[in-house]
Amino acid sequence: MSERKIMVFQTDFGCKDSTVSAMYGVVKSVDRNLEIITGTHDLPPFDIWSASYRLWQAMRFWPEGTVFVSVVDPGVGTARKACVALTEDGYYIVTPDNGSLTHVLHDNGIKEVREIDETVNRLRGKGTDGTSVFHGRDLFGYCAAKLAAGIISFEEVGPVYDVSQIVTLPVEEPSVNGDEITGIIEIDDPNFGNLFTNIPTEMLTAMGIDYGESMRIQILYEDDIVFERTMPFVKTFGDEAEGKPVLYNNELLKLSLAVSQGSFAERFHIGFGGGWKIIVRKDG
């Protein structure tokens, strides 16, 4: 048996019932010594975009070879593929192929993807054979555990299919037009209400914008302007008084919006995703 791999789980299951417990129980039934780490079980229900982003956000900080199980699966039991992807930088992702690989495919690259063969890599018995609505337990968790434990190789997951066939969500790249940078509000920080854009802060540097300077911000939803304001670009939240909105360089080196000791998302009623556009200009 090869060395066991760490397993990291993220889902939209929540922790109000025994769903996660049952899924983890399946893993431990395959191999009691497998290490299970909870990424989150509080992804927004049915939100494939968030699943894709959160997977990408944390992955680079784990050891190479880690097995990620990502299950946000509104199409569970339908014809969508269940797959295991091997990234170019050596991580395994066990997930429905429904768009949840979008950010990883875009930034990490995927070396190979295989469809899970349910005839050999699905949990059987224990009263599971008659249901098609809990693939997190019966398919993804079970197959991932076999892979992480070294019981099956990646090649034994199932048949390979072309990386170009992976389902992806539309991703709008940030762009520069004269003294303007356009991007999207890509995700939120749900605990604090900060909003992350997809604009690398190096784009600001290239335009000669530095900490302490102000920028004119427009936020549009479906092409309607919903927010417009001049805001300071700060290094950290304490550089501005409590309650003041700020722009800052987040932990992923992307331009982000916050309220010092408050929630930008709640105060200004701003969301995230492809419909939320942001335009940044140097003030003055």
DSSP string over 240-263: S-TT-EEEEE-TTSEEEEEETTB-
Tell me the CATH number at 185. 2.40.30.90
Residue whose C-alpha is closest to residue 68's, from 162, 3, 143: 143
Calpha distance 197→126 (Å, rounded): 45
Calpha distance 99→166 (Å, rounded): 8
The pLDDT of residue 180:
93
Q: Which burial class, exposed, middle or buried, applies to 206 when counting CB atoms under 10 A from its CB (0-12, 13-18, 19+)?
A: exposed
Pair 161, 114: CB distance under 8 Å = yes
Domain boundary among the residues 165, 200, 227 is at 165
Q: 13 and 149: one domain? A: yes
Calpha distance 246→213 (Å, rounded): 11
Q: 60 and 38: one domain? A: yes
Taking the alpha carbons at both ends of the chain, their separation in whole angstroms is: 64
Residues 6+ apart with CB under 8 A from 168: 99, 101, 102, 105, 106
Position 129 in a domain: yes
Residues 6+ apart with CB under 8 A from 98: 48, 72, 73, 74, 75, 80, 167
Calpha distance 210→146 (Å, rounded): 50
Calpha distance 26→130 (Å, rounded): 17
Domain boundary among the residues 165, 183, 212 is at 165
In the chain, how many domains are there?
2
Q: 160 and 265: one domain? A: no
The pLDDT of residue 197:
97
Residue whose C-alpha is closest to residue 28's, from 169, 179, 163, 146: 146
The pLDDT of residue 284:
65
Calpha distance 128→213 (Å, rounded): 59
Domain boundary among the residues 165, 187, 208 is at 165
Q: 141 and 184: one domain? A: no
Tell me the CATH number at 125. 3.40.50.10790
**Number of continuous H segments (helices) and E segments (strands) in the chain:** 8, 15
Calpha distance 13→46 (Å, rounded): 10
Task: Give the residue numbers spanning the domain of 118.
Answer: 7-165
Position 170 in a domain: no
Position 247 in a domain: yes
Q: 146 and 209: one domain? A: no
**What residue ranges of the chain have pLDDT lower than 70?**
1-2, 133, 284
In single-letter form, the type of residue at position 104 comes to: V
Containing 206, the helix (H) or strand (E) segment is: helix 201-206
